């Protein structure tokens, strides 16, 4: 069995999948958590692995960058491989003074500017929210860590061309960070009756002038705290 974008066999994926954007990060996470993990798909360089963590099955698969790319893989995982929950483990830009570089955001909701979720309910401003059970498990695993926050984010289809005023207005109304995938993930999980969450490391800050952004190498490797929370949600 395979799909147009995944060359795995039926049963190759665990019920829970961790989903970073970057294929290199997916491989690094898999080797870190599951040294004996099996590579189950590699179409177009989008790598997917399956193994065990503490005796429980777990898969890790990249999504690529942006909501259209993520949506392809999430649709196929839910429709064809019987995946039950997907936890995005990625990075975001901070827009609130409540977070700094290196902090982790458990995204309980994702404001959304794209069109993917508009297909489900015509004429309604769809609210893309995470699964409460997964939010609760990730928050419990944080153990009152002051550098972990549960809060909404904004998922955009634009990386460039966003006004400072837009992001400042979102921050003033409780939004902590900006990224490009979670909104579509939450909408697709709701559509299929599955579970989803995003656990995001703040890798840069749009308004903190005294901070140093993470390098590309640091973005790839500084994921241990977020990964711990994501695994807790995957196996709750």
Q: Which residues are catalytic?
A: 204
CA distance 77 to 90: 19
Rg over CA atoms, the chain:
17
CA distance 60 to 17: 5
Residue 204 φ then ψ, to 5°: -155, 165
Residue 174: both structure tokens together: 């409780």
Angle between helices 224-234 and 23-33 (to 10 degrees): 70
* Closest of 34, 2, 3, 4 to residue 16, by C-alpha: 34
């Amino acid at each position: 069995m395979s799909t147009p974008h995944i060359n795995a066999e039926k049963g190759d994926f665990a019920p829970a999948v961790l989903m970073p954007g970057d294929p290199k990060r997916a491989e690094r996470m898999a080797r870190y958590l599951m040294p004996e993990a099996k590579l189950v798909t590699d179409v177009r360089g989008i790598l997917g692995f399956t193994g065990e963590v503490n005796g429980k099955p777990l898969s890790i698969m990249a999504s690529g960058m942006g909501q259209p790319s993520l949506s392809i893989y999430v649709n196929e995982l839910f429709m064809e491989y019987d995946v039950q929950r997907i936890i995005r483990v990625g990075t975001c830009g901070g827009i609130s003074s409540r977070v700094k570089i290196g902090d982790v955001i458990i995204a309980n909701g994702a404001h959304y500017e794209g069109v993917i979720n508009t297909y489900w309910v015509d004429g309604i401003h769809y609210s893309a929210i995470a699964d409460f059970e997964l939010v609760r498990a990730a928050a419990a695993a944080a153990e009152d860590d002051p550098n972990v926050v549960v809060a909404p984010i904004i998922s955009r289809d634009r990386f460039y061309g966003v006004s400072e005023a837009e992001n400042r207005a979102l921050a003033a109304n409780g939004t902590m960070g900006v990224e490009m995938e979670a909104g579509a993930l939450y909408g697709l999980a709701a559509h299929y009756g599955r579970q989803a969450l995003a656990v995001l490391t703040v890798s840069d800050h749009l308004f903190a002038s005294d901070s140093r952004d993470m390098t590309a190498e640091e973005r790839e490797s500084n994921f241990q705290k977020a990964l711990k929370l994501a695994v807790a949600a995957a196996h709750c």
